[in-house]
Amino acid sequence: MTANNDNTTWSGRSVTCTAPINIAVIKYWGKRDEQLILPTNSSLSASLDQDHLKSTTTASISKEFKRDRLWLNGKEESIENPRIQNCLIEIRRRARKRKHNDDSKSEMLNWSVHICSENNFPTAAGLASSAAGYACLVYTLSKLYDINGDVSDIARRGSGSACRSIYGGFVQWTVGEKKNGSDSIAKVVADVDHWPEMRVLVLVVSDQKKHTSSTNGMRNSVNTSDFLRYRAEHVVPSRMEEMIKAIEEKDYQKFAELTIKDSNQMHAVCLDTYPPISYMNDTSRKIINMIHAFNKYQGELKVAYTYDAGPNAVLYLLDEHVPDVVSLINYYFPPCDNIRETFIRGLKVDFKTDISQ
Ligand code: DP6
């Protein structure tokens, strides 16, 4: 049998991957290039474990498919979405660039693709669903088309924060200097086993869709907030260095202080935006007050909070303090009251790939 004979029986391929959500401790808020999704400042996050908060994507190519199609959470959506197209076009361009000696693989580049993606957590509730979704899409397609090397810059074109979900552990997204964005990529700061005591509590205050998307919110901030420019130039560069050092040295006090300050600064930029954007609600603010009171009573920082573009709180803490903090939350927010759900998650994470032809 020759390679050509193999080719006639080889008519499809399917890949399934899962990807984690990530929660930033130094926030991305602002783009300097909307098309390539290049940020105004570097950012840093941890990828959470995938027991309950993850995206799963299956991508298939087949001779039999008539056109590209996409399903999100069981519902067919337009694959013409510009951000999906940004990713798909770049993936196919890189796949074509690779010299395939095997003609069967070159041929498959002309076949249509079907993509099914789902999240197992509330979409668009400020839980970084787009980050996990685009990271998973790009990673799955890269496996489908045998693309090697870093693909975080492709995930970035889907949703900025998605580039950080390509890797597990603590991950930075460097602001970069090049116009084409080739140096605005994700890099691992510390791998998943570095700080095994670190835990994350996700307090779901609301699972409603957020009123102002991150994309629109940060665009308005870039256009109207002087504080955003100040933050990007004068705060984040040194804060990134301090945060990386705190993680490397497992200095929880420093880590927690920087995490709290950076979340508050991002939300201060939102308030400095005109008209102002307010993502937190009364419950979010009560959680903040509760945590500061608890830390003060303890005489040191035992728990840090951070908020993305929504009212849900994410707490970073060491595992020895989880029981006390969970009791505190249950006392102030009895089950079924303001906080709808509490997830306790660690940082253990990595991609699981399952390739079948
Ligand atoms: C508040 O990555 O959702 O979560 O690039 O426009 O898709 P786009 O925005 P997105 O921004 C999320 C920002 C954030 C902070 C962060 O994750 O760093």
CA distances (Å), origin 88, targets 112, 180, 200, 316: 11, 18, 33, 35
Share of the chain above pLDDT 70, in %: 87
Distance 90 CA to ligand 1 centre (A): 21
Q: How far is the CA of 207 from the CAs of 197, 231, 355, in angstroms?
A: 28, 30, 33
> What is the distance between the alpha carbons of residues 220 and 28, in angstroms, rounded to a whole number?
14
Residue 227 Cα to ligand 1 midpoint, Å, equals: 18
- Higher pLDDT, residue 142 or 130: 142
Nearest CA to 173 among 181, 161, 182? 161
Ligand 1 pocket check for 157: Cβ under 6 Å:
no
Contact 120, 52 (CB under 8 A): yes
Per-residue pLDDT at 173? 98
Distance, in Å, from the CA atom of 246 to the CA atom of 259, rounded to the nearest integer, reads 11
Over residues 170-209, the pLDDT tens digits come to 999 999 999 999 999 999 999 988 999 999 998 888 777 7
Question: Is 125 in contact with 118 (CB distance < 8 Å)?
Answer: no
333-346, pLDDT tens digit by residue?
887 656 666 666 55
pTM exceeding 0.90 = yes
Q: Whose CA is nearest to atom 1 of ligand 1?
A: 308
136 and 72 in contact (C-beta within 8 Å)? no
**Residue ID of nearest Cα to ligand 1 atom 14:** 308
Closest atom of ligand 1 relative to the 162 alpha carbon: 2
- Judge if the beta carbon of residue 308 lies within 6 A of ligand 1: yes
ipTM entry: 0.99
Report pLDDT for 352. Answer: 46
CA 269/CA 228 separation, integer angstroms: 6
Contacting residues for 112 by C-beta, under 8 A, at least 6 apart: 61, 62, 65, 66, 67, 68, 69
pLDDT greater than 90 at residue 347: no
